[in-house]
Each structure stands twice: as structure tokens, then as C-alpha cells.
């Protein structure tokens, strides 16, 4: 099992490195990261509908999957607008800049609202009205859980040194923030798994995730903090000074590691509700796509809102 996990992890990390390398060095954009995200969203939504049906809910799977994938495209256009408004050499007209940013954000909010309202329309057309509430709820949850929350990782990719979308030096700084978030969140998983597997004796969350132990949780959080310090070192400079000092790196590592663990627990709750061990079988040693990205669902938003606070203080 461990051999399959290492092999699968190596393949996934390699694909992510290539996508981010092309974006950073050649496109100065997030096209390939969005493309990778699009594939993960499509596969994750398919797994999510299977879980919902296993728990006895009706779903609007075709609509939900279509909307989630379309939202990835809209999100890319919005982030390009943010980047263009802050590009070097762009005339600085604060009023026009604010208007463009506002309109771009409204486009994204409108697309999400239209996706959810469309579920209401589809619900009204179904004859099984007693089951409508469940179908409406889980379809909306799918859009929020597998699109809205993970999208903050993409927003983080466009964050500048000033903490603003498309802000100062966003291509380099946002690139580093995405790397740091993924390394710390998934590093927490790895440390918790390895230590919990060998030394774990006391169950931490027996009802939701029986495999997690207190020893594993402690090791995961400790690993997150250590990884944050390593990423802060000048030789790597992933958490660069002066935005990050050692204390700030420690806080970032602890918060991202803990939130990643909560993301894993949230996905475990969904799986237990459906009575399955894994969300799918696509990734050997891990399960499904949802089992791979679960920690980033929560770690992404936490990192996105935490970084500007760290920069400001």
C-alpha cells in the first residue's frame, strides 16, 4: 500500500510541478494550474455524486458538474482581469481600476448565483417533490465544497506582496504561496499517516475517522511547523522575508496544517455518511480525487485570508 501511495504521489506532484513551472516561467499566468484544477473538479464532482446517491439523495449531477467546470473558466477570466489591472506600465486610474475589478468580481459571483438558482429551476421540474430538498441541498453543497472552497488556492496564486489580488510581484509571490500551502497541508497528512501508522495508540476521532490517532495528529501539526520553518530558509525562500519572519512562518504552518487536517475530517464525514471507505478508486493507494485534495479544500481558504493578515502585521 505504501509503495502505491509513493508512486501515485510522485506522479501527481510531477504533474503539478510541470503545470506551475509553465505558468510561472513562460506564461506568467495560472492557465495550466486552472487546467489541472478543471480536471480535478470534473473527477471530484463525479465522485461526489456517487457519495450522495449512496447516502440516498437525488442529485442534479449533470447540471452541477457543468456549472462547476464552467466556473473554473469564469474564474480564470476574472483573475486575468485582476492581473491586467495591476500589470507594470498599466495607466493608474483608480476609478477605472476599481470599476474593472468590481465588474470582474460581480461576474464570478453572478455565475455562482446562476448555478445555484438553476438547481431550484431543475428541482421545480421534478415530480418527486418530497426528495427535492435533499437534491437541492447536496447539489449546492457540491458546488460550494468542490468549487468555491478550493478556488481560494487559485486566488492565492494571484496574490501580491501587498496582499491584493494581482498586486505587487504577484507572479512570484503567489507562486510561492501556493507551493507553501500545498507542501504544508499535504506534509501534515504524510507526517500524521507515517507516525500514526507506527506509533498511534489512541483514537483521535473514532466516529468520523477511525484511522486517525492522537499521536498522528500531534506529528502532523509538528511536521507542518517544521516544514514552514524549512520553507522560510533563505536557500528556499518559499516563505520570503520580510513578509514572513520565523514567528509568522510558525503561525502560518500551524494554521495551514491544522486546517488541512480539518479538511480531511470533513471529507471523512461525507464518506461515513455514504458508508464508504474511499470516495473513489482512481488514485492507487489514496482512493479518489476527493481523497487527494480534501486537505486543500479548507487549507486554501485559510491560507488566502491568513496571508494578508501576516503581511499587514
Chain segment 123-134, per-residue pLDDT in tens: 887 776 676 788
What's the pLDDT at 1?
Answer: 56
Mean per-residue pLDDT of the chain = 87
* Phi (first) and psi of residue 209, to 5 degrees: -140, 85
What's the pLDDT at 131?
Answer: 67
Q: What is the mean pLDDT of residues 69-86?
A: 84
Instruction: Pull the grid cell for residue 133.
Output: 430538498
Residue 86, SS3 per DSSP: coil
* pLDDT confidence band for 87 (50 / 70 / 90): low
pTM of the model: 0.92
DSSP, res 131: G
Q: What is the mean pLDDT of residues 244-272?
A: 93
Instruction: Pull the grid cell for residue 228.
Output: 514552514
Q: Are 182 and 296 in contact (CB under 8 A)?
A: yes
Look at the block and give the residue holding cell 502585521.
313
pLDDT in tens, 91-100: 566 676 667 6
Contacts of residue 101, defined as CB under 8 A and 6 or more positions apart, other chains included, come to 81, 82, 85, 165
Q: Are 305 and 297 in contact (CB under 8 A)?
A: no
pLDDT in tens, 171-184: 999 999 999 999 99
Residue 89, CB-side half-sphere exposure with 13 Å CA sphere: 0
Instruction: Pull the grid cell for residue 9.
Output: 504521489
Task: Report d(CA 311, CA 148) in Å as an integer.
Answer: 24
What's the pLDDT at 124?
Answer: 80
pLDDT in tens, 190-233: 899 889 888 878 888 888 888 888 999 999 999 999 999 999 99
Q: Provide the residue ranges of all domains of the chain, joining segments of one domain with +.
A: 2-312
Amino acid at each position: 500500500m505504501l509503495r502505491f501511495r509513493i508512486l501515485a504521489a510522485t506522479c501527481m506532484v510531477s504533474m503539478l510541478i510541470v503545470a506551475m513551472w509553465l505558468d510561472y516561467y513562460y506564461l506568467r499566468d495560472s492557465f495550466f494550474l486552472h487546467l489541472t484544477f478543471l480536471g480535478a473538479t470534473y473527477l471530484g464532482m463525479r465522485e461526489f455524486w456517487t457519495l450522495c446517491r449512496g447516502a440516498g439523495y437525488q442529485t442534479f449531477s449533470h447540471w452541477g458538474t457543468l456549472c462547476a467546470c464552467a466556473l473554473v473558466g469564469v474564474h480564470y477570466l476574472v483573475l486575468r482581469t485582476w492581473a491586467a489591472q495591476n500589470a507594470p506600465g498599466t495607466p493608474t486610474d483608480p476609478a477605472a481600476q476599481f470599476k474593472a475589478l468590481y465588474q470582474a468580481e460581480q461576474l464570478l459571483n453572478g455565475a455562482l448565483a446562476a448555478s445555484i438558482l438553476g438547481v431550484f429551476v431543475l428541482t421545480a421540474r421534478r415530480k418527486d417533490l418530497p426528495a427535492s430538498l435533499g437534491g437541492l441541498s447536496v447539489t449546492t453543497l457540491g458546488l460550494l465544497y468542490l468549487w468555491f472552497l478550493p478556488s481560494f488556492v487559485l486566488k492565492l496564486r494571484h496574490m501580491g506582496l501587498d496582499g491584493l489580488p494581482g498586486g505587487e510581484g504577484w507572479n512570484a509571490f503567489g507562486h510561492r504561496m501556493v507551493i507553501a500551502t500545498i507542501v504544508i497541508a499535504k506534509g501534515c497528512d504524510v507526517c500524521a499517516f507515517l507516525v500514526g501508522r507506527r506509533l498511534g495508540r489512541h483514537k483521535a476521532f473514532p466516529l468520523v475517522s477511525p484511522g486517525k490517532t492522537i499521536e498522528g495528529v500531534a506529528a502532523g501539526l509538528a511536521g507542518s511547523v517544521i516544514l514552514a520553518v524549512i520553507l522560510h530558509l533563505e536557500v528556499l525562500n518559499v516563505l520570503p522575508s520580510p513578509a514572513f519572519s520565523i514567528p509568522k512562518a510558525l503561525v502560518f504552518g500551524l494554521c495551514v496544517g491544522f486546517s488541512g487536517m480539518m479538511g480531511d475530517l470533513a471529507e471523512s464525514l461525507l464518506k461515513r455518511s455514504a458508508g464508504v471507505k474511499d470516495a473513489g478508486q482512481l488514485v492507487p493507494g489514496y482512493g479518489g480525487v476527493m481523497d487527494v485534495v480534501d486537505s486543500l479544500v479548507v487549507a486554501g481558504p485559510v491560507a488566502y485570508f491568513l496571508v494578508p493578515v501576516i503581511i499587514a502585521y
